[in-house]
Amino acid sequence: MKKIDLTSSEIGMLWTQYVQNSMTVQILSYLLATVEDEEIKAVVTYALEIARDVTSDTRSFFKEEGLPIPKGFTEEDVEVNAPKLFLDPFILMFLESIGKAGAAAHAVSLAVSSRKDVRDLFTKSATNTMKLYNMSVDTGLAKGLYVRPPQIDVQDEVEYVEGKKYFSPFNKRVLNTVELIHLFENIKTNSIGEMICTGFAQTTKSKKIQSYMERGKQISRKHSKVFADILMDSDIRPPMPSSGCVTNSTSPVFSDRLMMFFKSVLSAAGQGNYSTASTASMRYDLVLNYQRLSVEIALYAQDGADILMKNGWLEEPPQALDRKELRKKS
Protein backbone atom coordinates (compact mmCIF):
# COMPACT_ATOMS: atom_id res chain seq x y z
CA MET A 1 0.00 0.00 0.00
CA LYS A 2 1.34 3.43 -0.95
CA LYS A 3 2.31 5.57 1.99
CA ILE A 4 0.09 8.63 2.46
CA ASP A 5 2.05 11.83 3.07
CA LEU A 6 1.15 14.10 5.96
CA THR A 7 -1.02 17.09 5.15
CA SER A 8 0.03 20.64 5.99
CA SER A 9 -2.50 20.67 8.84
CA GLU A 10 -1.09 17.47 10.31
CA ILE A 11 2.49 18.72 10.10
CA GLY A 12 1.50 22.02 11.71
CA MET A 13 -0.36 20.38 14.57
CA LEU A 14 2.36 17.78 15.19
CA TRP A 15 4.93 20.60 15.29
CA THR A 16 2.83 22.64 17.71
CA GLN A 17 2.21 19.69 20.01
CA TYR A 18 5.89 18.72 19.99
CA VAL A 19 7.14 22.20 20.89
CA GLN A 20 4.48 22.91 23.51
CA ASN A 21 4.69 19.50 25.16
CA SER A 22 8.50 19.56 25.24
CA MET A 23 8.11 22.83 27.16
CA THR A 24 5.48 21.32 29.44
CA VAL A 25 7.81 18.42 30.24
CA GLN A 26 10.40 20.85 31.63
CA ILE A 27 7.83 22.77 33.70
CA LEU A 28 6.26 19.62 35.13
CA SER A 29 9.68 18.08 35.88
CA TYR A 30 10.40 21.04 38.13
CA LEU A 31 6.94 20.97 39.73
CA LEU A 32 7.33 17.25 40.42
CA ALA A 33 10.66 17.91 42.14
CA THR A 34 9.14 20.60 44.39
CA VAL A 35 5.56 19.43 45.10
CA GLU A 36 5.06 18.28 48.69
CA ASP A 37 1.51 16.90 48.88
CA GLU A 38 1.50 13.22 47.86
CA GLU A 39 -1.95 13.31 46.22
CA ILE A 40 -1.07 16.37 44.15
CA LYS A 41 2.26 14.72 43.30
CA ALA A 42 0.32 11.79 41.78
CA VAL A 43 -1.50 14.21 39.46
CA VAL A 44 1.77 15.92 38.47
CA THR A 45 3.30 12.51 37.73
CA TYR A 46 0.41 11.61 35.42
CA ALA A 47 0.56 14.99 33.67
CA LEU A 48 4.31 14.57 33.09
CA GLU A 49 3.71 11.09 31.67
CA ILE A 50 1.22 12.52 29.15
CA ALA A 51 3.55 15.34 28.08
CA ARG A 52 6.48 12.95 27.63
CA ASP A 53 4.35 10.53 25.59
CA VAL A 54 3.09 13.27 23.27
CA THR A 55 6.63 14.62 22.80
CA SER A 56 7.96 11.15 22.02
CA ASP A 57 5.08 10.21 19.70
CA THR A 58 5.20 13.44 17.70
CA ARG A 59 8.99 13.19 17.43
CA SER A 60 8.56 9.73 15.91
CA PHE A 61 6.32 11.15 13.20
CA PHE A 62 8.95 13.71 12.22
CA LYS A 63 11.65 11.03 12.09
CA GLU A 64 9.56 8.59 10.07
CA GLU A 65 8.52 11.27 7.58
CA GLY A 66 12.08 12.57 7.16
CA LEU A 67 11.08 16.03 8.42
CA PRO A 68 13.32 18.30 10.51
CA ILE A 69 12.73 17.61 14.21
CA PRO A 70 11.84 20.83 16.08
CA LYS A 71 14.30 22.00 18.72
CA GLY A 72 11.58 22.63 21.26
CA PHE A 73 12.77 22.61 24.88
CA THR A 74 15.16 20.36 26.77
CA GLU A 75 16.59 19.81 30.25
CA GLU A 76 18.86 22.80 29.57
CA ASP A 77 15.80 25.04 29.96
CA VAL A 78 15.08 24.13 33.59
CA GLU A 79 16.90 23.85 36.90
CA VAL A 80 14.95 21.11 38.65
CA ASN A 81 17.01 21.47 41.82
CA ALA A 82 16.04 25.13 42.29
CA PRO A 83 14.15 26.02 45.50
CA LYS A 84 10.38 25.79 45.53
CA LEU A 85 8.81 28.71 43.64
CA PHE A 86 5.11 27.75 43.48
CA LEU A 87 3.07 26.42 46.40
CA ASP A 88 1.04 23.23 46.04
CA PRO A 89 -2.40 24.93 45.64
CA PHE A 90 -1.06 26.76 42.57
CA ILE A 91 0.42 23.55 41.18
CA LEU A 92 -2.99 21.87 41.36
CA MET A 93 -4.68 24.89 39.76
CA PHE A 94 -2.04 24.82 37.01
CA LEU A 95 -2.68 21.12 36.38
CA GLU A 96 -6.41 21.78 36.08
CA SER A 97 -5.64 24.51 33.55
CA ILE A 98 -3.34 22.42 31.35
CA GLY A 99 -5.77 19.50 31.49
CA LYS A 100 -8.55 21.75 30.23
CA ALA A 101 -6.36 23.46 27.59
CA GLY A 102 -4.77 20.19 26.50
CA ALA A 103 -8.09 18.45 25.92
CA ALA A 104 -9.25 21.37 23.76
CA ALA A 105 -5.96 21.59 21.82
CA HIS A 106 -5.82 17.87 21.05
CA ALA A 107 -9.48 17.92 19.99
CA VAL A 108 -8.70 20.73 17.51
CA SER A 109 -5.65 18.80 16.27
CA LEU A 110 -7.83 15.73 15.77
CA ALA A 111 -10.46 17.73 13.88
CA VAL A 112 -7.98 18.84 11.18
CA SER A 113 -6.20 15.48 10.79
CA SER A 114 -6.90 12.88 8.09
CA ARG A 115 -4.41 10.02 8.51
CA LYS A 116 -5.56 7.33 10.90
CA ASP A 117 -2.29 7.08 12.84
CA VAL A 118 -2.31 10.85 13.42
CA ARG A 119 -5.96 10.77 14.47
CA ASP A 120 -5.21 7.89 16.81
CA LEU A 121 -2.45 9.91 18.46
CA PHE A 122 -4.63 12.96 19.04
CA THR A 123 -7.59 10.85 20.18
CA LYS A 124 -5.41 9.16 22.80
CA SER A 125 -3.92 12.49 23.89
CA ALA A 126 -7.33 14.17 24.17
CA THR A 127 -8.62 11.26 26.26
CA ASN A 128 -5.58 11.38 28.56
CA THR A 129 -5.80 15.14 29.10
CA MET A 130 -9.51 14.83 29.91
CA LYS A 131 -8.55 12.28 32.55
CA LEU A 132 -5.90 14.71 33.86
CA TYR A 133 -8.53 17.44 34.16
CA ASN A 134 -10.86 15.15 36.09
CA MET A 135 -8.04 14.01 38.38
CA SER A 136 -7.07 17.60 39.18
CA VAL A 137 -10.67 18.67 39.86
CA ASP A 138 -11.38 15.61 42.01
CA THR A 139 -8.19 16.21 44.01
CA GLY A 140 -9.02 19.89 44.39
CA LEU A 141 -12.54 19.14 45.60
CA ALA A 142 -11.27 16.57 48.10
CA LYS A 143 -8.76 19.07 49.51
CA GLY A 144 -11.05 22.11 49.44
CA LEU A 145 -8.78 23.83 46.90
CA TYR A 146 -11.00 23.74 43.82
CA VAL A 147 -12.57 27.11 43.01
CA ARG A 148 -16.16 26.51 41.97
CA PRO A 149 -18.09 28.77 39.57
CA PRO A 150 -20.75 31.01 41.20
CA GLN A 151 -24.05 29.44 42.22
CA ILE A 152 -27.16 31.47 41.40
CA ASP A 153 -30.96 31.27 41.53
CA VAL A 154 -32.62 31.27 38.09
CA GLN A 155 -36.15 32.01 36.89
CA ASP A 156 -38.82 29.30 37.15
CA GLU A 157 -39.95 29.32 33.50
CA VAL A 158 -38.41 29.52 30.02
CA GLU A 159 -38.32 33.11 28.76
CA TYR A 160 -37.64 34.71 25.37
CA VAL A 161 -35.87 37.97 24.51
CA GLU A 162 -38.57 40.58 23.93
CA GLY A 163 -36.57 43.55 22.72
CA LYS A 164 -33.20 45.21 22.14
CA LYS A 165 -33.08 46.25 25.78
CA TYR A 166 -31.76 42.74 26.52
CA PHE A 167 -28.55 43.58 24.62
CA SER A 168 -28.22 47.18 25.79
CA PRO A 169 -24.94 48.37 27.38
CA PHE A 170 -26.86 51.17 29.12
CA ASN A 171 -29.83 49.46 30.75
CA LYS A 172 -27.74 46.60 32.06
CA ARG A 173 -29.76 43.50 32.88
CA VAL A 174 -28.47 40.80 35.21
CA LEU A 175 -26.03 38.35 33.67
CA ASN A 176 -27.20 35.13 32.07
CA THR A 177 -25.49 31.83 32.86
CA VAL A 178 -23.54 31.69 29.57
CA GLU A 179 -22.04 35.11 30.24
CA LEU A 180 -21.25 34.02 33.80
CA ILE A 181 -19.27 31.03 32.51
CA HIS A 182 -16.88 33.21 30.53
CA LEU A 183 -16.49 35.92 33.16
CA PHE A 184 -15.64 33.34 35.80
CA GLU A 185 -13.24 31.35 33.61
CA ASN A 186 -11.43 34.51 32.53
CA ILE A 187 -11.02 35.61 36.14
CA LYS A 188 -9.55 32.20 36.89
CA THR A 189 -7.12 32.15 33.95
CA ASN A 190 -5.98 35.72 34.63
CA SER A 191 -5.33 34.80 38.26
CA ILE A 192 -3.11 31.93 37.10
CA GLY A 193 -1.38 34.26 34.64
CA GLU A 194 -0.73 36.79 37.40
CA MET A 195 0.94 34.16 39.59
CA ILE A 196 3.05 32.85 36.71
CA CYS A 197 4.23 36.38 35.87
CA THR A 198 5.04 36.99 39.53
CA GLY A 199 7.19 33.85 39.71
CA PHE A 200 8.93 34.52 36.39
CA ALA A 201 9.62 38.19 37.23
CA GLN A 202 11.42 37.39 40.47
CA THR A 203 13.55 34.57 39.04
CA THR A 204 14.84 36.02 35.76
CA LYS A 205 18.17 37.85 35.72
CA SER A 206 17.16 39.95 32.71
CA LYS A 207 15.80 43.41 33.57
CA LYS A 208 13.97 43.57 30.24
CA ILE A 209 12.18 40.27 30.79
CA GLN A 210 11.51 41.16 34.42
CA SER A 211 9.83 44.36 33.24
CA TYR A 212 7.83 42.40 30.65
CA MET A 213 6.60 39.94 33.28
CA GLU A 214 5.67 42.75 35.67
CA ARG A 215 3.64 44.33 32.90
CA GLY A 216 1.91 41.01 32.27
CA LYS A 217 1.13 40.72 35.97
CA GLN A 218 -0.53 44.14 35.98
CA ILE A 219 -2.55 43.33 32.85
CA SER A 220 -3.83 40.08 34.38
CA ARG A 221 -4.73 41.86 37.63
CA LYS A 222 -6.52 44.65 35.76
CA HIS A 223 -8.53 42.22 33.60
CA SER A 224 -9.53 40.13 36.62
CA LYS A 225 -10.84 43.28 38.31
CA VAL A 226 -12.84 44.29 35.22
CA PHE A 227 -14.58 40.91 35.13
CA ALA A 228 -15.04 40.75 38.91
CA ASP A 229 -16.66 44.22 38.94
CA ILE A 230 -19.14 43.09 36.27
CA LEU A 231 -20.13 40.14 38.46
CA MET A 232 -20.48 42.39 41.50
CA ASP A 233 -22.81 44.69 39.52
CA SER A 234 -25.17 41.70 39.25
CA ASP A 235 -24.82 41.05 43.01
CA ILE A 236 -22.69 37.97 42.34
CA ARG A 237 -19.56 37.70 44.43
CA PRO A 238 -16.76 36.26 42.27
CA PRO A 239 -15.08 33.19 43.76
CA MET A 240 -11.39 34.12 43.71
CA PRO A 241 -8.44 31.71 43.82
CA SER A 242 -5.73 32.52 46.35
CA SER A 243 -3.08 34.91 45.04
CA GLY A 244 -0.45 34.02 47.67
CA CYS A 245 0.86 30.93 45.91
CA VAL A 246 4.36 32.15 44.98
CA THR A 247 7.27 31.82 47.41
CA ASN A 248 9.96 34.48 47.92
CA SER A 249 12.60 32.45 46.04
CA THR A 250 14.66 34.42 43.50
CA SER A 251 16.75 31.50 42.26
CA PRO A 252 16.52 30.99 38.48
CA VAL A 253 14.31 28.05 37.52
CA PHE A 254 13.47 28.30 33.80
CA SER A 255 15.45 29.68 30.88
CA ASP A 256 14.40 33.12 29.66
CA ARG A 257 13.54 31.53 26.32
CA LEU A 258 11.12 29.08 27.94
CA MET A 259 9.48 31.78 30.06
CA MET A 260 8.98 34.09 27.09
CA PHE A 261 7.63 31.29 24.90
CA PHE A 262 5.26 30.18 27.65
CA LYS A 263 3.94 33.73 27.95
CA SER A 264 3.35 33.79 24.18
CA VAL A 265 1.26 30.61 24.50
CA LEU A 266 -0.72 32.10 27.40
CA SER A 267 -1.32 35.34 25.48
CA ALA A 268 -2.62 33.42 22.46
CA ALA A 269 -4.90 31.39 24.73
CA GLY A 270 -6.15 34.59 26.38
CA GLN A 271 -7.05 36.13 23.04
CA GLY A 272 -8.87 32.95 22.05
CA ASN A 273 -10.80 32.93 25.33
CA TYR A 274 -11.85 36.56 24.88
CA SER A 275 -12.92 35.96 21.29
CA THR A 276 -15.10 33.02 22.35
CA ALA A 277 -16.54 35.01 25.26
CA SER A 278 -17.29 37.99 23.03
CA THR A 279 -19.21 35.79 20.59
CA ALA A 280 -21.18 34.09 23.37
CA SER A 281 -22.11 37.26 25.29
CA MET A 282 -25.40 39.02 24.55
CA ARG A 283 -24.80 42.23 26.47
CA TYR A 284 -22.97 44.74 24.28
CA ASP A 285 -20.92 46.19 27.13
CA LEU A 286 -19.43 42.74 27.71
CA VAL A 287 -18.61 42.40 24.02
CA LEU A 288 -16.87 45.78 24.03
CA ASN A 289 -14.89 44.89 27.14
CA TYR A 290 -13.65 41.63 25.64
CA GLN A 291 -12.70 43.37 22.39
CA ARG A 292 -10.75 46.24 24.00
CA LEU A 293 -8.99 43.95 26.47
CA SER A 294 -8.10 41.59 23.62
CA VAL A 295 -6.32 44.47 21.88
CA GLU A 296 -4.26 45.04 25.04
CA ILE A 297 -3.24 41.37 25.06
CA ALA A 298 -2.38 41.52 21.34
CA LEU A 299 -0.06 44.50 21.88
CA TYR A 300 1.55 42.76 24.86
CA ALA A 301 2.01 39.57 22.82
CA GLN A 302 3.61 41.52 19.97
CA ASP A 303 6.17 43.02 22.35
CA GLY A 304 6.88 39.52 23.62
CA ALA A 305 7.38 38.25 20.06
CA ASP A 306 9.85 41.08 19.47
CA ILE A 307 11.89 39.97 22.50
CA LEU A 308 11.86 36.37 21.25
CA MET A 309 12.96 37.42 17.76
CA LYS A 310 15.69 39.81 18.89
CA ASN A 311 17.22 37.05 21.01
CA GLY A 312 16.93 34.39 18.29
CA TRP A 313 14.50 32.35 20.41
CA LEU A 314 11.47 32.20 18.10
CA GLU A 315 11.47 28.84 16.31
CA GLU A 316 9.69 28.86 12.93
CA PRO A 317 6.94 26.32 12.21
CA PRO A 318 7.43 24.24 9.02
CA GLN A 319 6.42 26.22 5.97
CA ALA A 320 5.80 25.72 2.27
CA LEU A 321 8.72 26.00 -0.15
CA ASP A 322 9.29 29.48 -1.56
CA ARG A 323 8.96 28.76 -5.28
CA LYS A 324 10.16 32.24 -6.24
CA GLU A 325 13.40 31.73 -4.34
CA LEU A 326 13.88 28.32 -5.95
CA ARG A 327 13.48 29.85 -9.42
CA LYS A 328 16.04 32.53 -8.56
CA LYS A 329 18.57 29.89 -7.49
CA SER A 330 18.03 27.84 -10.65
* pLDDT single digits (tens) 212-264: 999 999 999 999 999 999 999 988 888 776 667 999 999 999 999 999 999 99
Q: Would you call 324 exposed, middle or buried from its count of C-beta atoms within 10 A (0-12, 13-18, 19+)?
A: exposed
pLDDT in tens, 136-145: 999 999 999 9
Least confident residue range of 9-18, 121-130, 146-155, 164-173: 164-173
Q: What is the mean pLDDT of residues 276-288?
A: 94
DSSP class of residue 165 equals G
Residue with the larger pLDDT of the pair 29 and 152:
29
**At CA 96, angle to CA 255 and CA 297, rounded to 5?**
60
Nearest residue to 21 via CA among 57, 54, 61? 54
Q: How far is CA 155 from CA 166, 177, 235, in A?
A: 16, 11, 16
Q: What is the pLDDT of residue 242?
A: 62
Q: What is the mean pLDDT of residues 5-17?
A: 95
Task: Say what the pTM is.
Answer: 0.92
pLDDT above 70 covers what percent of the chain? 95
In the chain the domains, ranked by start, together with CATH numbers, are: 1-146 (1.20.1260.10), 163-319 (1.20.1260.10)
Q: What is the mean pLDDT of residues 66-85?
A: 96
SS3 26: helix
